[in-house]
Amino acid sequence: MKLATHYNKASIIISVSVLLVSGVIYFVTINHIARRQLDNDLTEEVTEVITYVNQNQHLPKPVDFDEDITSFVKTKLNRFDTRFFDAPYANPKEKKIEDGRAVSALIKVNGESYIVTIVESREETEYLIQIIFAITLVLTAVLLAFLIITNRFVLDGLWKPFYCLLNQVKKFNVADTHRIDPIASEVDEFAELSDAISKMSSRVTTDYQGLKAFTENASHEMMTPLAIITSKLDMLIQDEKLSSDQFAQITDIYSAASRLSRLNQSLLLLVKIDNNLLQDTERLNVKSIILEKAQQFHEIVQNKNIELGYQLDDLWINASKYLVDVLVNNLFSNAIRHNKNPGVIKIIMSASKDPGEVNKLCFQNTGDSKPLNRDAIFERFYKGGTSEGTGLGLAIMKNICTLYNFELNYEYKEGMHRFSVVF
């Protein structure tokens, strides 16, 4: 959920809560004021009755004064506290019972005590309260509507520089020379963020270009002495005067130099894959590449007494031919290097005809009876106990699959190690 949505949600919840509480308080207050006003009117009515009695020394007739119903009840009480209470009001005109407010008080006429009760209708007051409450609800709804609209458009405008900056960050590639441009904003925080990210991208790009140049130069410089070492070792190995111990030592040096050369090439390839520097994308038939590799590894497969079987569908993908060639080559090398003698390799590739199905390539091979560590096999420099490789083959395969959004999986099932690529 976006930050603006969170803010709108919190703002609306708080506003509605405050308005509801305020509405309840407002309603109670208005109702209390209206009741007090009715009580004041009733007090005036009682005062008028007392004044009439004092002037005329007799009770007024129980008639409706100003639509107020007045009644007198003789009592023997000499003391009675005036009290206000709710009572039904019989409307003589409309002949219906309405809510009313009443007051009872004690008056004396010619030495006798009477309790006078005056009932006044509350309908007009309640109608007024309802009108006020309805107006308040309408104003509340209008306020909420304006609040939502204002938050939407005003916040969208305020956050526009942030989203522009975010889009630049998403598109930023350290391998490109294009850097993130600062964005002008009236919001100080966004302006500072834009300036910081722009400076950071410049530093990162500069550092990357320097590191890239250093890596390429170092790799290039390493290849020359490695080639010389390998060439000299080739000449020494061919010398017939070498003793068996000398021959074994030179062979070890030759193997180490070859391994160092492969390690150097693998690390360079990982750097290129990580930074998407190989963009020679073309339409490829994976089946053709597998058959070509099977022919190249045919002699090695025969020498290790490995039975190779495959069932391949035509599968077309868009990718770099060099990287797909590396991926298939590593799958073959891994299946051959870690196999038994004699052993078995099965290659199955299925191309889906239904959009809901997946395209899958699976290499299965016999080998060690223990499964590999699924959590670590695709990490760099991970090697099994008997592996003599650089420990980068599976990491390169994983990075190639990640680059093209392929899915690389491993499982050990029915005595077979299985590496599968889901396209």
Q: For 339-357, what is the mean pLDDT?
A: 82
For residue 387, pLDDT over 60 is answered with no
| Residue 15, both tokens | 């506003």
Tell me the helix, strand and coil percentages in the chain, rounded to 5. Answer: 55, 20, 25
Q: For 69-94, what is the mean pLDDT?
A: 80
Q: At what angle do helices 123-171 and 188-237 cross, to 10 degrees?
A: 30
Residue pair 343/365 in contact by the 8 Å Cβ criterion:
yes
For residue 270, pLDDT over 50 is answered with yes
- Return the pLDDT at 12: 76
> Comparing C-alpha atoms, which of 126, 124, 117 is closest to residue 65?
117
Domain ranges of the chain: 3-130, 188-272, 283-422
| Residue 21, both tokens | 């509480």
Amino acid at 70: T
Angle among Cα 86, 92, 95 to the nearest 5 degrees reads 90
| Residue 405, both tokens | 């959004």
DSSP assignment of 257-270 = HHHHHHHHHHHHHH
Label residue 346 by pLDDT band (50, 70, 90).
very high
The CATH code that applies to domain 283-422 is: 3.30.565.10
| Residue 243, both tokens | 């003793």
Dihedral sign computed on CA atoms, order 160, 166, 170, 172 = positive
Q: For 13-42, what is the mean pLDDT?
A: 81
Average pLDDT, the chain: 80
| Residue 369, both tokens | 């009876």
Higher pLDDT, 87 or 241: 87
> Comparing C-alpha atoms, which of 292, 284, 300 is closest to residue 400?
284
For residue 112, pLDDT over 50 is answered with yes
**pTM score over 0.75:** no
